[in-house]
Structure 1
Amino acid sequence: MPDSRYSDLERPPLSEAALNRALVRPGSLWTGVTVVESTGSTNADLAEAARRGAEEGAVLVAEAQEAGRGRLGRTWSAPPRSGLTFSILLRPEAPPAAQGWLSLLYGVAAASAVRRLAEVDVRLKWPNDLLIGERKLAGVLAERVGDAVVIGMGLNVTLRPEELPVETATSLGIEEAACLDRDPLLRAVLREVEAHYREWAQAGGDAEASGLRSAYLAASATIGRRVRVELPNEQSLTGLATGVDHFGHLLLDAEGEQYTLSAGDVVHVRPAT
């Protein structure tokens, strides 16, 4: 249940009508923004809508999410209206092999929008976590549904220290960001996603030609760092993250061996002192 200490003045609701007026227009990628008070998972709801033929550009925002999911099957939750929890529906025409870049594209766009509006130094941990310093500000989860891709994000906005799901997380409020208003933050992220998506699509999904790969490298907190990568098979690799390839996979130099990783949980290893 929402904490009675938090009034609408502190955590005001989003206006579906205002968001649609601002974002849905002729020629826009965004075809409709729906705001719900609560749902299990915005990704799951949009995935079901995609199966029913929903058009590209649908956006679903939840003021509270009861069964949110992160990468590698983790659960994710936050107090109502304390963050931005939303998913988008895309139907890309680029080759399937190139579509692995979409979650990284989303991370680049979201980091750029938040950095500009909130005036905080947001960086990306491979593949698409948003960090301030070494603390997680937001996570991104992309899922394929037939010929569609659903991408969701949970961005911590006004969470207080005692509300953080894990001690390694943070929020814009904790970081004393310049903007804690969820409405302009959401608009900025969606507009930035649209701009990057159009450039990428016009380049046929070529991350190099569209400038996406260079933008990702510029925003990365992982590349050039010594990292430990926890792999899905419960093994791990430790080494130097040297780059990302043309599919968005992480390139790792571990004890002289070169690895190309398509999945894994990255831990930034602190330099020895």
Structure 2
Amino acid sequence: MTPMPPGTPGTPQPDPSSGRWSDLERPPLNATALRKALVRPGTLWSSLDVVEITGSTNSDLTARAVKGEVGEGAILVAEEQSAGRGRLERTWTAPPRSGLFFSVYLEPDVPVERWGWLPLLAGVATATALSRAAGVDTALKWPNDLLVHVGEEERKTGGILTERAGDGVVVGIGLNVSLHADELPVPEAGSLTLAGAPAADRDPLLRAILRSLEQWYEDWRGAGGDPGASRLQEAYAAGCATLGRTVRAVLPGDREITGEAVAVDSDGRLVLATEDGVQKPVGAGDIVHLRAARGE
């Protein structure tokens, strides 16, 4: 029997409001192909799971790590997050399959005081990968945001969140890939598509980010977590859009420090040069907001 072409009367058609392929612009990730490409002997990555929807990949992977259900190099990816989180419990939302929402579990065998470099390392790795794989220049806003240009505007397209999990750390990355202007959660947000990325295929983007993350992590770990010897500090400074700008650090208790961001020190802190000639380092855990100074 010759099959009838799609749309022929009497032919059952898929429900456009349901099903994994209901949005052909945003196909699902290919978990099997991703595992084959990434989870291999001799690599960092030990497992990879893709779920349709969850509250937060960070929360889920942290719970698994604490229970001893996963080892270092576990990757958890969600097609949609209903309760994605950023720093200070800020929410992160996006339509299903419109971005990359994933977490990885790491057990760095370096001094714990150097673990604070992990979100900065993840930023460098992600920005490096996106510049190559997506063809979009990506900058870093200290401490954990990924920025792209949409027209003349600098907008946030991604963020990074790290959390302790038993003997290790869960690093979560959220990235807007194919969001259109009317889908943005706030006007200041962006996406790779709005930034002019020629393609929004998430599979190669995820592979590129994870391979870049593995390379930077292994170099940093091989240097004992030393950000200088691993060239991580240099790379972060080179890609950090915050440096050279006058910013206002909002601290708990409505305290503020305003100054020019002049460096990222060996502890990953942002160094602000104030008007009175004092250089004050500010740690990521010390601030509530980092904003452009008034008039900038």
Tell me the equivalent position of 2:103.
87
Matched, 1:267 2:282: no
What's 1:114 paired with?
130
Tell me, in whole angstroms, the C-alpha distance in 1 between the residues paired with 2:294 and 2:33.
44
3-state SS of paired residue (1:233): helix
1:229 aligned onto 2:249: yes
Q: Is the 8 A contact 2:148 2:192 kept in 1?
A: no
CA RMSD of aligned residues (A): 1.6
Residues 148-198 of structure 1, C-alpha deviations (whole Å, 9 max, x = no match): 100101100011111111111100111121231000000000000000000
CA distance in 2, matches of 1:113, 1:119: 9
- Partner residue of 1:39 out of 54, 59, 65: 54
Tell me the residue number matched to 2:162: 142
Larger radius of gyration: 2
Who is 2:3 aligned against? Answer: none
Alignment of 1:197-212 (within 5 A): 197-212=217-232
> C-alpha displacement at 1:123, in angstroms?
0.3
Query: Any conservation in 2 of the 1:117–1:178 contact (CA below 8 Å)?
Result: no
Contact kept in structure 2, 1:249 and 1:260, CA below 8 Å: yes
Secondary structure of the residue aligned to 2:161 is strand
Contact in 2 for aligned 1:13/1:81 (Cα 8 Å): yes
State the alpha-carbon separation in 2 of the partners of residues 268 and 216 from structure 1. Answer: 19
**Contact 1:117–1:185 (8 Å) recurs in 2:** yes
Provide the C-alpha distance between the structure 2 equivalents of 1:232 and 1:4, rounded to a whole number of angstroms: 45
Q: Tell me if 1:176 matches 2:196.
A: yes
SS at match of 1:98: helix
Does residue 1:51 correspond to 2:66, yes or no?
yes
TM-score between the two structures when normalised by the length of structure 2: 0.88
Deviates further, 251-260 or 73-82: 251-260
**1:268 Cα deviation after fit:** 3.0
Alignment pair present for 1:101 and 2:117: yes
**Equivalent of 1:154, from 153, 174, 182?**
174
Percentage of identical aligned residues: 56
Answer with 131-140 or 261-270: which moved more. 261-270
Q: Secondary structure at the match of 2:253?
A: coil
Structure-1 separation of matches of 2:60 and 2:74: 11
**CA contact 1:117–1:179 (8 Å) conserved in 2:** no
- Which blocks of at least 5 consecutive residues in structure 2 are unaligned? 1-15
> 2-side partners of 1:212 and 1:121: how far apart?
18
| Partner of residue 184, structure 2 | 164
Within 5 Å, give how 1:249-264 maps onto structure 2: 249-255=269-275, 256-263=277-284, 264=287
Whole-angstrom CA distance in 1 between matches of 2:295 and 2:211: 37
Change (3 A) 1:111 1:270: farther
Equivalent residue for 1:60, pick from 76, 79, 86:
76
TM-score by length of 1: 0.95
Match of 2:32 in 1: 17
Partner of 2:140: 124
Compute the displacement of 1:4 (Å).
4.2
Residue identity in the other structure for 2:145: D
- 1:244 maps to 2:264: yes
Distance change in 2, residues 1:44/1:191 (3 Å) = same
User: How far apart in 2 are the matches of 1:180 and 1:36?
Assistant: 20
On the 8 A contact 1:104/1:127 being kept in 2, the answer is yes
Deviates more, 1:60-69 or 1:3-12: 3-12
Distance in 1 separating the partners of 2:169 and 2:240: 23
